[in-house]
Amino acid sequence: MKILITGGLGFLGQHLARHLLRDVPGCRLTLIDNLSSSVIDHAWLRDKAEIIIDDFAAMPVGRRFDRIYHLASPVGSLGILSMSGYVAKQITDLAVRAGEMAAACGAPLLYVSSSEVYGKGGPQSEGDELAVPVQTGTRMEYSLGKLSAEHLLRNMAARYGFRLTVVRPFNALGEHQSSRIGFVVPTFFEHAMAGKPLPLFHGGNQVRCFCHAEDVVRGMAAVQERGVDGETYNVGHPGNAISIRDLAAKIRALCDSDSILESVDPVERFGPSYLEASAKSPSIEKVHADTGWRPRIDLDSALARVHGYYSNLGAPALEHRPDRVAAT
Ligand SMILES: NC(=O)c1ccc[n+]([C@@H]2O[C@H](COP(=O)([O-])OP(=O)(O)OC[C@H]3O[C@@H](n4cnc5c(N)ncnc54)[C@H](O)[C@@H]3O)[C@@H](O)[C@H]2O)c1
């Protein structure tokens, strides 16, 4: 089976590649990535997959694939800030190209959207109204870009007759995630291990449900293979809810670190375009009912695995990593 993963050298892309190589007999992977946000070493993939370093929007249609997973996107609270004003256009341009690829070869397309499409905080399920809050900011542009991409792909799927499923991941964590574009878990680990303050935005009161990347990509594959054509599915771990302040304390304890927790005003640090939701929690009843998928890795086990990853890297390696920044 020939499988294309766009954004295949990124955090979730590489976890997905590992999962498919292990679980799909005879699978032949093509990974396209322009390395715009990926700083993750992909040497392990060189003899296991075809790797194309290029912008996916420029990939000619016409190659034949049996499955397409579309992950390429501007990502991360800091990653998107640097592209403010162009984020939604990037997301929709890439989605159109994914739709054209699927239309040309008739391959089922799985689009990786985001939980950021939900306008309200708290428990979020696929049947909710997707109201747009009265706010302007880069994060809103990201949300609307993802929502527009979902819509345009549904219309392209109906027009050209390809199978489409959509996944909305909630916060993922795992080994090899980069702090460079603003993800909180790697930022806290890197700061805790270096004895630097752990930055808390908004007092660290935001609640997130972190799902290990291995569970997230298993969810993507389950939806691609068993999801209902045209449907949209949350993928996340509601049982792993935690406030960012408690997460910081847990990571500090795991690293046996003396780092202080430091309140930081993100707007002062990153400007008025910075926005984030106060609480997010996925309903996963629909994905479980249609595909049988459930997350398996609880928060403590997930954090222990990430801690093992950082412990293996060691402090000197962390000091020289290009992706260390002080931000959540
Ligand atoms: N990590 C999360 O918590 C999370 C949550 C919700 C949704 N998502 C979605 O999952 C997908 C993967 O995210 P990730 O966390 O692995 O981030 P990531 O930045 O590690 O992966 C995205 C990859 O896409 C690549 N890319 C970006 N623009 C490209 C382009 N024009 N052409 C080719 N490649 C391009 C980047 O270089 C990167 O390797 C994204 O669509 C993201 O919106 C992630």
Give residue 258 CA to ligand 1 midpoint distance, Å.
33
Backbone angles phi, psi at 110, to 5 degrees: -105, 120
How does pLDDT run across 260-271, given as a tens digit for each residue? Answer: 999 988 888 777
The 8-class DSSP code of residue 203 comes to G
Quote the CA–CA distance of 91 and 145 in Å, as a whole number.
6
For the chain, the domain total comes to 2
Assess contact for 211 and 185: CB atoms under 8 A: no
The reply to whether 189 and 76 lie within a common domain is no
Give residue 256 CA to ligand 1 midpoint distance, Å.
31
Which residues line ligand 1 at a C-beta cut-off of 6 Å?
Answer: 7, 9-13, 32-38, 55-57, 71-73, 75, 94, 112, 114-115, 169, 171-172
Give residue 104 CA to ligand 1 midpoint distance, Å.
24
> Is residue 289 in a domain?
no
Q: Which domain holds residue 18?
A: 2-170+213-238
Nearest to 257 by CA among 321, 212, 311, 312: 311
How does pLDDT run across 15-62, given as a tens digit for each residue? Answer: 999 999 999 999 999 999 999 986 788 999 999 999 999 999 999 998
- Whether pTM > 0.75 for this model: the answer is yes
Sign of CA dihedral 42, 296, 4, 24: positive
> Is residue 63 in a domain?
yes
How does pLDDT run across 109-167, given as a tens digit for each residue? Answer: 999 999 999 977 888 999 887 867 778 888 889 999 999 999 999 999 999 999 999 99
Q: Which atom number of ligand 1 is nearest to the Cα of residue 115?
A: 6
* CATH number of the domain that residue 190 is part of: 3.90.25.10
